[in-house]
């Protein structure tokens, strides 16, 4: 999402917190690309996003496919990540029987410059790689994290659920309802080439399948069907006073290791030098006006 700097700064008072880079920080961002063609995306992409991208992310390789390329940002300047990328892609294609649907060449790395403030496609790539990095960053900060990010809902931001409370009134042999709270983070870029990360409190109700571990969000209607007590407890947590809301956001930011700034580093592989270049984005807390 691209906004004007005027609109964004005026919005500081409507959301609790925002962190921003300096102007022109995202004017040109270098990332790696390799050939990656998916012939039948409607069949391959659902599994691709659910399995391959998550496996790569857990190893420190953040990736996103677009226009017959795989866009890549490495979490570390480590040659082992090149091997991990190669092994994971080959294993995924073989195990999912996609040999006839996917063509790739992981030997020829290119570098491409993204201009997320000027090109909507570049913004989608940048946002996807950025959220992928944050998922790993936050997972390293807390013992257990329930991540409800879905690829098709990236525009709604990254939801990080930090505290979950069991609701015994609605539990069964198969499902365990919980009320979870944490932060929603929304990335924007402005016309002045600045990246902005908006932060707000989020409270949602979920149920977890005890057999599969699958997480399903619960609507207000579903909560009422479970128990009026559960529903009222959800409303109480979802509508804190302004003072309590601010305290909760500050507490959750502290748990995630964020105070007045957030530094997001990544690495780009340079094949000619067989080495990695470090790229760094630094977000500073914007003071309310």
Name the band, by pLDDT with cuts 50, 70 and 90, for residue 12.
Answer: very low
SS3 content of the chain, % helix, strand, coil (to 5): 35, 35, 25
**Segment 31-82, tens digit of pLDDT:** 999 999 988 877 778 888 889 999 999 999 999 999 999 999 999 999 999 9
* pLDDT over 60 at 119, yes or no: yes
Run of H or E including 163: strand 158-166
pLDDT of amino acid 152: 39
Length of the chain, in residues: 289
**Segment 173-183, tens digit of pLDDT:** 778 888 989 99
Name the band, by pLDDT with cuts 50, 70 and 90, for residue 4.
Answer: low
Residue 155: both structure tokens together: 């525009």
β-bridge pairing 175-190 and 2-3: parallel
Cβ neighbors of 237 (< 8 A, separation 6 or more) are 179, 181, 203
Domains of the chain, residue spans? 2-115+118-255
Alpha-helical (H) ranges within 114-180 are 120-139
Q: Please tell me the pTM assigned to this model.
A: 0.88
Task: Check if the beta carbon of residue 152 is closer than 8 Å to that of residue 125.
Answer: no
């Amino acid at each position: 999402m691209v906004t004007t700097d005027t609109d964004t700064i005026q919005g500081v008072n409507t959301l609790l917190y925002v962190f921003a880079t300096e102007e022109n920080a995202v004017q040109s961002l270098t990332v790696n690309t390799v050939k990656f063609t998916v012939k039948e995306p409607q069949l391959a992409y659902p599994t691709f996003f659910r399995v391959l991208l998550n496996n790569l992310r857990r190893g420190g390789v953040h990736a996103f496919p677009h226009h017959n390329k795989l866009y890549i940002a490495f979490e570390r300047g480590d040659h082992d990540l090149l091997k991990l990328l190669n092994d994971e892609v080959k294993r995924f294609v073989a195990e999912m029987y996609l040999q006839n649907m996917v063509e790739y060449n992981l030997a020829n790395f290119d570098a491409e410059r993204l201009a997320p403030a000027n090109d909507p496609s570049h913004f989608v790539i940048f946002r996807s790689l950025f959220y992928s990095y944050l998922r790993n960053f936050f997972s390293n900060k807390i013992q257990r994290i329930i991540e409800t990010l879905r690829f098709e809902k990236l525009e709604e931001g990254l939801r990080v659920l930090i505290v979950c409370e069991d609701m015994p009134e609605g539990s069964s042999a198969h499902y365990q309802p919980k009320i979870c709270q944490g932060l929603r983070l929304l990335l924007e870029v402005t016309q002045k080439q600045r990246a902005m990360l908006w932060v707000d409190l989020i409270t949602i109700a979920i149920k977890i399948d005890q057999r599969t571990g699958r997480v399903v969000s619960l609507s207000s209607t579903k909560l009422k069907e479970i128990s009026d007590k559960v529903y009222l407890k959800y409303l109480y947590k979802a509508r804190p006073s302004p003072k309590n809301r601010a305290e909760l956001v500050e507490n959750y930011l502290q748990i995630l290791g964020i105070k007045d700034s957030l530094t997001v580093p990544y690495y780009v592989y340079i094949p000619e030098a067989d080495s990695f270049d470090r790229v760094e984005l630094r977000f500073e807390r914007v003071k309310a006006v």
